[in-house]
A and B are shown apart, each in its own frame.
Chain A
């Protein structure tokens, strides 16, 4: 069994999960924002990781460079006449009802956007050859503008890549110090703005990310490193350095992978249906996994579209640190402003005066401030007073206001959960909720009730689930290629599809170690539609497999959109292949768990908590690390652990499974139970 270390960089902490055979160690080290590899080196020393261990790393270097606009001086080369595709975008303004508004700073300003005469038509035929003489002049200008990185995107290059390739060859000779990003290598798919944005993001973050990965190599001292991608799979350092655009949404991906793998074991199925719910301090990420980890090619970051496969995660700007206020119309609002880490919630006692969701939990008793605050003497009183102040104009006391804050925050969360489930045609009642992050397990029961969810799984280590996800993630590589043709035509002549599949297979296999499992898929739509659904394509390519894909498309369309149209022509838009190799750490390997020492479980103490109404009730409290397989708890109860609290409401029970996950279930008979 390989030794694996998952290292996940977050805003505040860098989390380590070290799996050495059956033992598992966990560590949190403060993140070093300037150079994230410093915290990595520090953590590896503290944990005492063997030199043979393999590192799986989740880094936000690419994400932060993009969001904070700290990337390289980047230039863009496009087809003559299309210099401003990146600036125009989809021509809509960001805010519908603002007379004055601004956009995020451009990654490539006008004076670094260059064009060259060339044109390929919508069938891939060359209308105008690449003007190499002009390209020589452009190369001089690129050099003169001081660009460190260059994106090359020509119209219809996904049908005919010769001009982009030729331009790259010429430019490599003329301006060898400039790093090149070609759209045909990153995203050979149609829609010029999205393809341009994806290519430019790559060019923009590439120099920084490759320098970071060099630092990292030094920090890990020769250990093999895999890097998490937005898709939820990992890739080797060489590919990560060349195509860092594949990393920009990797931050929340590890958590979804971790939740999915935990659910696979806990629910004893390869394809669990779960909704992940990661509620942190300033934002909440939710993802619906319908038996597999959902991926999308329609993401957005920093005001730009990202068309590479990413774990399909919906984020809302509300979390434990979201600020509550009463607006001038008399409504209680929560978020999107957040108290952040400084000054933080009122209960932190660091000068925060605005009530947050965390403060509401403290006043209701569902959070125990003694567990996360050094000094609670004044903080509790101040928190209660702040809630009372907030509620005064509404004629509500501190507890009633606190319950209101939670309810409103939950309305935001519920809308996010509905967006990923009901809006996509999935019935949440058939799903298991997997909450994690600092605040997820506190809100899970109430949200489950609102959505009709009857089962919740709280992983054993909800605070480091992302790092655990890194270790459990497959090594993957995704490649795609535009192929725009009716499926009937593809069936009549299988050669083009076979050719595309074979070319993609080569790209994927070349990017991965060993022999990957290959999954092919097609982006299909009804002819005339402009939205595609990705459906599996059986290999090898055959008319039967193609027919099955078309059948799957009709079914998926019906499920997601409420109707299917079997009489209509179906059109293929793109072919995809994903190669994957299982991580070194098998999902079957169990963490070391001490067996249950006692059959009876006693609460460690009792707390006064407002669960359902303003009047508090006395609720038993348990320590998560004392719970053993087989233990059964009945709500109401609180289960404390070092980085989160599980709030078990009336009508719910929690059973501890063999891996120490808490399996929480609704008892129909107890729904109306009122002790």
Chain B
């Protein structure tokens, strides 16, 4: 590699170039997608990989995709040693490169001569992939109930779509037209990524591109290691729990060890795989830990494989954070990932007390509603709701935002009511829900849905019983609550997780959790973690 020792100027030039490719892919995907979930809420990511499957650049809007995209590329490479120009692999199998079924990932090669020297990948959250409830985030007990499982398959071979395969996929989902449109959008993004990379290859030659892909990884690794080296060495433990029906509270434990310029998160002691949808595959566990480290390193370094090299994540196979094949994982991606972030931050807060914020809302408040509209056409609506961000050592937490592993946009009320047989009765901040302290946690939100036609409603939400903790003497944020209000004034408190058939005029009122406070308010008693 001596011929291509890193030139500090080209290093910067290629940072822009590679990031530009991923961004162009993302811009294409967003613009061409059909479902509001992708277009309005930006629930997607695009990335570039080198020939070995190491990530070179990522345009991520969703941190939970951080560690999970590399796993997809690795699975695609493992499944298909032979690649042709124009091939596109699709997958969503959590046990072969996916994270949960609604996230469909595509991987395709970029050739220089006869060899693929880069891969581009895209991941988009599809609003429905079949399974036992509309929106495909069901209260499942095994993977098969969650929707169609797509192991790594060549959906496109030498530029020709495998229409048989596509028909099977589309036949297994509730909204095939929309799925087709979104899958086409992903393909369009890949075409753009491939075109841009080929132009760069033609311009500078494959060797230079490959060399700088490697140099940029080393650069990010250097920066990450330098940041970790400033942390005090030591071992720090923390635990928190999830909430299951029947009052069960499976525990997630972490032991974080900082040693020199590396950090290890070991989740030994975490409860085993459960009969419920909150298990995760190891890739999701990795994503959460990578995210935590990424937040503590200068935020303008390029996101690539090098950021992850100094971070080791282990979880015993069979525990709920390293689920074994067949276990249900629909909610692990969206809910458990938030708790993994909380415990990793809780552990590191002991080492870095002046850098880490109190617990944020710790859930994504997943709402899925499915039924038929007034024309009898099926629809599936999926949305996640923001809440309070934890207060930090220097500022109050933000209110009504997505925290940690998600950052999706909301669906405008006026867009939603024009598209679905739903009406929003209230959308506001939940005053007083942020934990008090020297700095106050952010406020949760209230969103009240009225059904205009009967529908099946599924919710996956957390922090309904165990509040987001305060830090350094700050008070915990308020728990969330899901409430059913019926005509005539009856009210019923619903659990954090449920699937229910509701009737026209029924109202679902969701209050999302507030963030924890930071530091003791003068004259107030605090509640630590």
Q: Which residues from chain A sit less than 8 Å from chain B, CB to CB?
A: 81-85, 87-88, 90-93, 95-103, 110, 121-122, 155-156, 190-194, 326-334, 394, 396, 403-404, 407-408, 411-412, 414-415, 418-419, 422-423, 484, 526, 528-531, 560-563, 565
Contact = CB atoms under 8 A, between A and B. Distances in A.
A449 B397 CA distance: 47
Contacts, number: 194
B240 to A, nearest CB: 17
Contacts of B32: 561-563
A286 to B, nearest CB: 14
Given A102-B398, A330-B219, A411-B13, 12 more contacts: A81-B425, A82-B428, A88-B445, A93-B402, A101-B398, A155-B414, A191-B414, A329-B222, A330-B11, A331-B8, A531-B31, A562-B191
Contacts of A528: 34-35, 177-178, 181
Given A82-B426, A99-B356, A423-B24, A563 B184 contact: yes
B451 to A, nearest CB: 14
Given A91-B401, A97-B291, A562-B188, A484 B12 contact: no
Nearest to B226: A328
Given A193-B412, A394-B8, A96 B219 contact: no
Contact of B395 (A87, A102, A408): A102
Interface in B249-302: 291, 294-296, 299, 301
A503 to B, nearest CB: 21
B138 interface: no
B403 interface: yes
Interface residues of B, number: 84
A114 to B, nearest CB: 13
Interface in B381-434: 385-386, 389-390, 392-395, 397-403, 407-410, 412-415, 417-418, 423-429
Contacts of A88: 386, 399-400, 410, 427-429, 445
B494 interface: no
B392 A99 contact: yes
B17 interface: yes
B412 A100 contact: no
A565 to B, nearest CB: 8
A378 to B, nearest CB: 28
A97 B345 CA distance: 13
Interface of B: 6, 8-9, 11-13, 15-17, 20, 23-24, 27-28, 30-36, 39-40, 42, 60-61, 63, 177-178, 181, 184, 188, 191-192, 196, 219-220, 222-223, 226, 291, 294-296, 299, 301, 345, 355-357, 385-386, 389-390, 392-395, 397-403, 407-410, 412-415, 417-418, 423-429, 445, 448
A404 B34 contact: no
Contact of B427 (A85, A99, A156, A414): A85
A329 B223 contact: yes
A419 B269 CA distance: 48
Contacts of B222: 328-330
Closest 10 CB pairs of A and B: A100-B392, A81-B426, A404-B9, A91-B386, A122-B417, A90-B409, A88-B400, A561-B32, A411-B13, A332-B8
Contacts of A408: 9, 12-13
A82 B177 contact: no
Contact of B413 (A192, A396, A404, A422): A192
B490 to A, nearest CB: 20
Contacts of A415: 16, 20
B63 A561 contact: no
A529 B418 CA distance: 12
A624 to B, nearest CB: 31
Contacts of B33: 529
Contacts of B30: 531
A92 B35 CA distance: 19
Nearest to A99: B357
5 contacts: A82-B428, A91-B385, A328-B222, A404-B9, A562-B32
A419 B196 CA distance: 12
A332 B429 CA distance: 44
A92 B407 contact: yes
Contact of B8 (A121, A326, A412): A326
Contact of A96 (B36, B63, B188, B385): B63
A484 B418 contact: yes
A93 B427 contact: no
Nearest to A115: B428
B414 A122 contact: yes
Contacts of B61: 96
A191 B415 contact: yes
A397 to B, nearest CB: 13
A530 B40 contact: yes
A331 B12 contact: yes
B12 A91 contact: no
Contacts of A333: 12
Given A331-B15, A411-B17, A81 B8 contact: no
Nearest to B442: A93
A131 B200 CA distance: 63
A328 B409 contact: no
B196 to A, nearest CB: 7
Residue among B12, B60, B400 facing the most chain A CB atoms (10 A cut-off): B12
A333 B23 CA distance: 20
A193 B223 CA distance: 39
B380 to A, nearest CB: 12
Nearest to A122: B417
Contacts of A530: 36, 39-40, 415
B20 A418 contact: yes
A330 B306 CA distance: 15
A185 B490 CA distance: 41
A332 B222 CA distance: 15
A404 B192 CA distance: 29
Contacts of B36: 530
A564 to B, nearest CB: 10
Contacts of A101: 389, 395, 398
A560 B31 contact: yes
Contact of A423 (B27, B220, B398): B27
A387 to B, nearest CB: 13
Contacts of B226: 328-329
Contacts of A484: 418
Contacts of A102: 395, 398
Contacts of B397: 100
A13 B525 CA distance: 57
B383 to A, nearest CB: 10
Nearest to B407: A92
A96 B94 CA distance: 25
Given A91-B385, A99-B392, A155-B413, A81 B427 contact: yes
A560 B220 CA distance: 34
A70 to B, nearest CB: 23
A562 to B, nearest CB: 5
A177 B423 CA distance: 36
A98 B360 CA distance: 12
Contacts of A332: 8-9, 11-12
A84 B196 CA distance: 42
Residue among B32, B385, B403, B427 facing the most chain A CB atoms (10 A cut-off): B427
Contacts of B9: 332, 403-404, 407-408
A109 to B, nearest CB: 12
A555 to B, nearest CB: 15
Given A100-B357, A330-B219, A562-B192, A84 B16 contact: no
Nearest to A396: B8
Contacts of A110: 429
A531 B412 CA distance: 13
